[in-house]
Amino acid sequence: MEKKRFRLGCDIGGTFTDFVLLDDLTGEIHTAKCLTTPKDPSDAVEEGIKILSKKLPGFVSELDEFIHGTTLVINSIIERKGAKTGLITTKGFRDVLEIGREIRYAPYDIFAEYPKPLVPRRLRMEVDERIRSDGTILKPLNVDEARQVVRKLVSMGVESIAVCLINSFENPIHEKMIEEIIHEEAPWLSTSISYKVLPQIKEYERTSTVVTNAYVKPLTERYLSKLKDRLSALGFKGKLFIMLSSGGITSVEIAKEFPVRIIESGPTAAVIAAQYYGKHFNISEMFCFDMGGTTAKSCLIQKGEAGIVQTFEVGRVQRFMRGSGLTIQVPVVDLMEIGAGGGSIAKISKMGTLQVGPESAGADPGPICYDRGGEDPCVTDADLLLGYLDENYFLGGEMKLNKDKAKHGIKKKIAEPLNVSLEQAIWGIHDLINETMAAAAKTHIAEKGGNPKIVTIAAFGGAGPVHAYGLAKKLGAKRIMVPPNAGVGSAMGFFTAPRAFDVLVSHKVSLSKADFNSIEEIFKKLEKDAEATFLSEYSQGGIIFSRSLDMRFVGQGSEISIPIPNKPFFEFKKEEIRKMFDEHYEKLYGRTYPESEIEFINFKVRAHLPEKLLKLSKIENQRGGDISLAIKGKRLAFSQRVKDFIPFTVYDRYKLFPGAKFRGPAIIEERESTIVAGEDTEITVDEYGFVWIEIREG
């Protein structure tokens, strides 16, 4: 059987849907970009495939893999467009979604709002049962009562049911009984049971996560089934993968079952790409900066690795206030996302000052210059008028921008109300969004113990390379890296992501009382469960397992994660585990407490397949070392240093060659993005086509 040669990455963003087609035989890459279709995202997927088919007729039949990232899940939560969901829980726990952790995110604001639970109280039902913390049954489940509860929810028209009983992570017998009742009474209903979704301690986080999974599951199942059918109709017969929030990719079947795992599906991919590039170029401290049309995502990569956190929030009432959103407890790349993109809307605030974002014009209607009916001035409108973008070369000339309408809109809605010149207004929009991103980035880097002055900024997204220089100046960073095809960087990241899945289970026991043979049995079961997530067609080459422990001092409310060597757990000595804990704890908090007892909380396994990585292709020197052949001309653009328009030299990125060197001010254009570099920069191009920007002192 002839080996299929292509892999296709597709990332659906808030404004654009990006495509990267990789030929594994030659290393050749083809890209496409089209506006996202919010009503049915699969429309944009089909459109992009048709665009690529014009370049390479018949490539779909030779596709080995289609790797997909989507914002569908997180958008359905934010916009409250999920399924009508019911919750079955233990008697006394009906209101856990509202009680949460009883923490006020704004303690001095008596009007502070909190997100409404995804399941209203009338659809939350209790059953009178009880499992002890050690897994023994205190009160058996009343089967007749459980059946009546299920029937009541069905009569109320729910589409999906979440089941989350107290301490079921230690003994799921009652949850399994309710699951069987649901299948008997309403086999058509979608179900999410906590022992499958999240068998983990902490009642509020577990309930919130299981409810979220149930809320988005029917929508995700419909979308992925439809996508699979549309791809089949186009002739696709390969494997369909979905990007996980944790940085791995998984099968469509697993994504349907656990959609809560793909909430941050799209934003994660650029981080994985930056991590891969960092390892390739041996850069230990990197700041991934991915700015698209709707949001800006960033992540500090330290010692070549992006951090993974176990808890995050979605749908925050106050976007930048921790604690004001819905808590989700699944592994996710530790990235920061703010409402700052090319489509971020500029307006006059209630205080009479300029405000940019977090609201976005999105793909429909988009910024004014898109000429699709938009009337609100956006960051892209300002970038166009600042001279950074060419109205005739946006998306490689496929989409002409309307400069006059952008100018009129900003003048009418920003310049005149603020009584400033047009130049001040457009620079104010650009500079303010940079300031917003820099402030968030400084906080993110500081929280991780990093130094913004030593990081290399890796710029991705359609707007990332436009704003990376301004961001670097505000952070004090001295180097920027812009990879080839940066405008579709997230889709590129799919090719560097491992086939991986994380599983865990909670079992609280002190180190002194722990039976290491029993713990080895826990790990073996987790490995078996993780292995089941890889269908045989995905698992050629053998599965690799990585183990870790969540531990804490007895009495603490938070734990730390400790990776451990993958050997039988009974081969460890208790003193060895204690030493690992103390070393990690002291590294994090400066000291440890050797006399205090410690305990195990969670046992975790990551299963992954051998990586099928993207091989970087070298570019050819077809210009004979003559940089003048890459110059498209000069264009007046706004200088950050002199606060006026000056001539910038415009370069065609596709004509740059290995070893090319030149100085700013420069604008480097490619189809999906544009690089802007000020007067104080030195720019070089390496053998792989990466653009490196060094910012000089002074």
Q: What is the mean pLDDT of residues 115-120?
A: 91
> Residue 193 carries which side chain, given as an amino acid letter?
I
Highest mean pLDDT among 263-267, 383-387, 557-561: 383-387
Instruction: Quote the pLDDT of residue 566.
Output: 87
Instruction: Quote the pLDDT of residue 671.
Output: 87
Interval 351-383: pLDDT, tens: 889 988 778 887 678 899 999 888 999 999 999
CATH superfamily of 6-77+222-262: ATPase, nucleotide binding domain (3.30.420.40)
* Nearest-5° Cα angle at 285, 284 to 291: 130
To the nearest whole percent, how much of the chain has pLDDT over 90?
53
Q: What is the mean pLDDT of residues 65-74?
A: 84
Mean pLDDT over each residue of the chain, to the nearest integer: 89
E strands, 331-392, in order: 332-333, 336-338, 344-348, 354-360
Q: How far is CA 312 from CA 32, 247, 561, in A?
A: 32, 15, 16
DSSP 582: H
Instruction: Quote the pLDDT of residue 1.
Output: 38
Q: How many angstroms separate the first and last alpha carbons of the chain?
A: 61
Q: Which residues pair with 544 in a beta bridge?
A: 608
Q: Is 633 helix (H, G, I), strand (E, B) or coil?
A: strand
Q: How confident is the model at residue 623 (pLDDT cuts 50, 70, 90)?
A: low
Distance CA 462, CA 292 (A): 5
Q: How far is CA 104 from CA 113, 256, 442, in A?
A: 10, 34, 25
Interval 159-208: pLDDT, tens: 999 999 999 999 999 999 999 999 999 999 999 999 999 999 889 999 99
Phi, psi of 170 (to 5 degrees): -90, -30
> Residue 200 carries which side chain, given as an amino acid letter?
Q
The label of the residue with tokens 């390969």 reads 238
Instruction: Quote the pLDDT of residue 36.
Output: 82
For residue 525, what are its two tokens?
């079961």
Judged against a pLDDT cut of 60, whether residue 684 lies above it is answered with: yes
Distance CA 295, CA 338 (A): 6
Phi, psi of 251 (to 5 degrees): -75, 160
Architecture of the domain spanning 82-209 = 3-Layer(aba) Sandwich (3.40)
Phi, psi of 196 (to 5 degrees): -95, -45
In sign, the C-alpha dihedral spanning 301, 306, 310, 316 is positive
Alpha helix positions (H), 327-421? 379-385, 403-410, 416-418
Query: Do 242 and 262 touch, CB atoms closer than 8 A?
Result: yes
For residue 577, what are its two tokens?
């585990």
Q: Is 333 helix (H, G, I), strand (E, B) or coil?
A: strand
Query: Do 297 and 270 touch, CB atoms closer than 8 A?
Result: yes
DSSP-derived pairing of the beta strands 354-360 and 296-302: unpaired
Structural domain spans, the chain: 6-77+222-262, 82-209, 500-608
Judged against a pLDDT cut of 90, whether residue 615 lies above it is answered with: no
Q: Which residues pair with 249 in a beta bridge?
A: 243, 499
Distance CA 210, CA 261 (A): 11
- Cβ neighbours around 163 below 10 Å, total: 30
Distance CA 698, CA 296 (A): 28
Q: Is 23 helix (H, G, I), strand (E, B) or coil?
A: strand
Instruction: Quote the pLDDT of residue 597.
Output: 95
Interval 285-306: pLDDT, tens: 999 998 887 778 889 998 888 8
The residue that leads in pLDDT, 612 or 225, is 225
In sign, the C-alpha dihedral spanning 240, 26, 464, 696 is positive
* Nearest-5° Cα angle at 385, 380 to 387: 100
The label of the residue with tokens 């370049």 reads 55
Instruction: Quote the pLDDT of residue 536.
Output: 52
Q: How confident is the model at residue 535 (pLDDT cuts 50, 70, 90)?
A: low
The residue that leads in pLDDT, 126 or 531, is 126
